[in-house]
Structure 1
Amino acid sequence: MNQPSIGFYVHYHGMGHKHRAECILQHLTLPATVVTSNLDRLSWNGPTLKEVVAIACDNDDLNEVGLDRAGDSPGLHFAPLWSTNITERVAQYTAWLNTAQPDLVMIDVSAEIAMLTRLASIPSVVMRQHGDRNDDAHQIAYHAAHSLLAPFPERMEDDITPDWVRDKTVYLDGFCRHSEPTCETSMSFESPTIAVMFGRGGTDLTVEQLCEAARSIPDHQWIVIGKDAPAAHPLPTNLQFVGWIQDPVAYLTAADLVVTAAGHNSVMEVGHSGCRFIAVAQDRPFEEQTRKARILDREGLAVGVESWPSAEQWPTLVARAKHLDPTQWQSVFQNDGAVQAANHLAKVALWSRDQRVSGERISL
């Protein structure tokens, strides 16, 4: 009999979900398929990855009138009416389930896809994220899942998480694109430097806010990664924009301090690099980054703030961050969480295959 197979549903917002899936795929020994929207146009890596299946994006070509009804069903997060694009998306996904018959789907993330998978009689493992997920849709998706994966160790759990969710969660050690120990870098800066890193998930931070921050700490050079220099905007002499950099580790490790959004992958990459950093929460659904910033601050892993600081706040925050102990992150990365995730998925897929072939076919 063929090996069990695993599907990965990977959400399309930003690059974090893709990076997370690829980390796990690197250690997976079972055949895998990625199902996604928009990200199918990119290259994907994974030794057992067989194909990347594209389905319509639920955020495109929406019916304007129906969009007003997108959130009027408490058990669903996003369900606009009268949008044929979403009808097509559901049909494409369930058609793939019917054709491929995966033994397991790992979902990162979508409550609607989680429910569709369970309704199609396929077990799922749902990736958790920080934030207040005690709404009906998340709770239903969590109940329907075989198990939950937390891409963080239990010390980074939120106080508001219900006990039953904790009991169903497999906590993972940290993992990120840079799974190998951080190497020494030849990059260095002539003066004390603060690196500000942006991801591709979007930010509402303005150039003027960066200028004010740089002026408030004039004895430090500020290097902005992931954002291009603005045209025709006067900048302080200690503020520099270096644009998008595929691998920013050299900048991060050479800097005295890092300022980054409190998104999961950014936090894990900076923490893995052994940096002292300030995590600034950006506006995301379910207070995802706000809750994470509080946890990081609580655990002494970073200085967490819930919004971009004012100019008056920066000196105190920088002083606090410079007293952080970055060796705290060694316990987060004690083992490779991507290996742990791959092992759990393989175990559940093998269980699912065994149950499928051993169960009798009956009609009720």
Structure 2
Amino acid sequence: MIGWYVHHHGSGHEARARTVVPLLDTDVATFSSRPLDIEGTTSHRLPLDVEPPATAWHAAQPTPDVLHYAPLGVDGLRRRMGTIASWAATTDPAAMVVDVSVEVTLLARLLSIPSVVVRQHGRRTDPAHRAAHEAASLLLAPYPAWLEEPWVDDDMLARTVHCGGFSRFDQRTPDHDRARADLGIGADDRVVVVLSGEGGRMGWPVHDAAAATPGWRWVVLGDVRPRPGLVTPGWVEDPWAWLCAADVIVTHAGHNAVMESVGSGRPVIVIPQDRPFDEQRHKALLLAEHEVCAVRDTWPAPTSWPALLEGSADTGSPHAQDLVDGKGALRAADAIDTFVRTTRGGCS
């Protein structure tokens, strides 16, 4: 048995679990504040830990540099960590996969559980991240080695398995023409699909870009307010057909959104949003450097969009298959299974 912790912010952490867990040879217990129901696993719903501290004194106590979030006097945090500790005390787990949390990684170490920590982009050189990376027994990067951060030292690299990019759509074959037919999109229609994401509000003036490009049909997927000139299907649980049907995809630089968009084989424009540790901006710079996607630091002016769309549609994503080759999830599962066998004294 292994544990798998899924952070509740955004949908990418859950998507990774849903993609990799079914491929494992190991029994899995999941832990998250998100309502997870992955077939074949035991699910533990964790309470949220966002209520105010019990007293003003608790609230005034500083957080040690080695932690990101550990307020005193918060009952939800106590019950959250207690759920994991109680499970560990009665299960004798072989490992804990953490995606992502400094505090859960350190808790696993204190509970004497080897941990596999999923890495993310961004400038994660602060004391808390360093402690988590040092406490981890294995680091798992859901991207190829050539998309690695330049600040990562040799020790981290030696303990990191780069499994390559992957998404829940790895086993699907992109079919541009069929997707357009299924969605009722004409052969001559030029379509831009915009991914707004779950991890934060989009805040992009898409309607201005649409007004500046009358030859293009703009489709915005996500929980956004309808506006004249935009097609807004709302939150689409399975956006694969829309991605495949697009002439150009516009997305933020969230990990899941990038992997799904690039995996569709369509041209992708990435516009990073503000996130802790500049995660999206770091990833976007690397994507641009390796010519995987077109990247713009901020939302372009309306007058820039006609040429940007034309150029992206013409050049596509030259190195898309190098990032998402359809085997990343299998490599991630194999790395975890191999690690579990190692912790149990088996052959690696």
| TM-score (norm: length of structure 1) | 0.87
Structure 1 gaps, min length 5: 356-364
Partner Cα separation in structure 2 for residue 161 and residue 64 of structure 1: 40
Q: 1:183 to 1:142 in 2, by over 3 A?
A: same
**3-state SS of the aligned residue for 2:87?**
helix
Measured on the aligned residues, the alpha-carbon RMSD in Å equals 2.1
Q: How many residue pairs align between the two structures?
A: 339
1:217 aligns with 2:213: yes
1:189-216 per-position Cα deviation (integer Å, ceiling 9, x unaligned)? 442111111222122415xx11111122
Which AA in structure 2 matches 1:54?
R
Which AA in structure 1 matches 2:134?
H
Give the corresponding residue for 1:20.
16
Shift of 1:344: 1.2
Partner Cα separation in structure 2 for residue 240 and residue 216 of structure 1: 16
Structure 2 gaps, min length 5: none
Which AA in structure 1 matches 2:192?
I
Give the corresponding residue for 2:31.
35
Partner Cα separation in structure 2 for residue 196 and residue 66 of structure 1: 46
Which AA in structure 2 matches 1:220?
W
**3-state SS of the aligned residue for 1:222?**
strand
Partner Cα separation in structure 1 for residue 58 and residue 299 of structure 2: 31
Q: Is residue 170–residue 327 contact of structure 2 (8 Å, CA) maintained in 1?
A: yes
Q: Is residue 71–residue 77 contact of structure 1 (8 Å, CA) maintained in 2?
A: no
Give the corresponding residue for 1:57.
48
Give the corresponding residue for 1:174.
165
Partner Cα separation in structure 2 for residue 123 and residue 331 of structure 1: 31
Q: Provide runs of 4+ in structure 1 moved above 6 Å.
A: none
Partner Cα separation in structure 1 for residue 291 and residue 42 of structure 2: 41
Q: 1:107 to 1:69 in 2, by over 3 A?
A: farther
Partner Cα separation in structure 2 for residue 55 and residue 330 of structure 1: 37
Which AA in structure 2 matches 1:44?
I
**3-state SS of the aligned residue for 2:340?**
helix
Q: Is residue 221–residue 232 contact of structure 2 (8 Å, CA) maintained in 1?
A: yes
Which AA in structure 1 matches 2:19?
C
**3-state SS of the aligned residue for 1:126?**
strand
Partner Cα separation in structure 1 for residue 55 and residue 264 of structure 2: 45
Shift of 1:114: 0.1
**3-state SS of the aligned residue for 2:98?**
strand
Q: Is residue 30–residue 36 contact of structure 2 (8 Å, CA) maintained in 1?
A: no
Q: Is residue 69–residue 79 contact of structure 1 (8 Å, CA) maintained in 2?
A: no
Give the corresponding residue for 2:38.
44
Q: 1:65 to 1:125 in 2, by over 3 A?
A: same
Identity %: 34
Give the corresponding residue for 1:358.
none
Shift of 1:178: 0.6
Q: Is residue 70–residue 78 contact of structure 1 (8 Å, CA) maintained in 2?
A: no
| Alignment map for 1:289-308 (pairs within 5 Å) | 289-308=280-299
Shift of 1:76: 0.7
Give the corresponding residue for 1:93.
84
1:315-360 per-position Cα deviation (integer Å, ceiling 9, x unaligned)? 34324423434351212233511111111111111121228xxxxx
Q: 1:68 to 1:215 in 2, by over 3 A?
A: farther
Give the corresponding residue for 1:8.
4
**3-state SS of the aligned residue for 1:354?**
coil
Q: 1:113 to 1:323 in 2, by over 3 A?
A: same
**3-state SS of the aligned residue for 1:274?**
coil
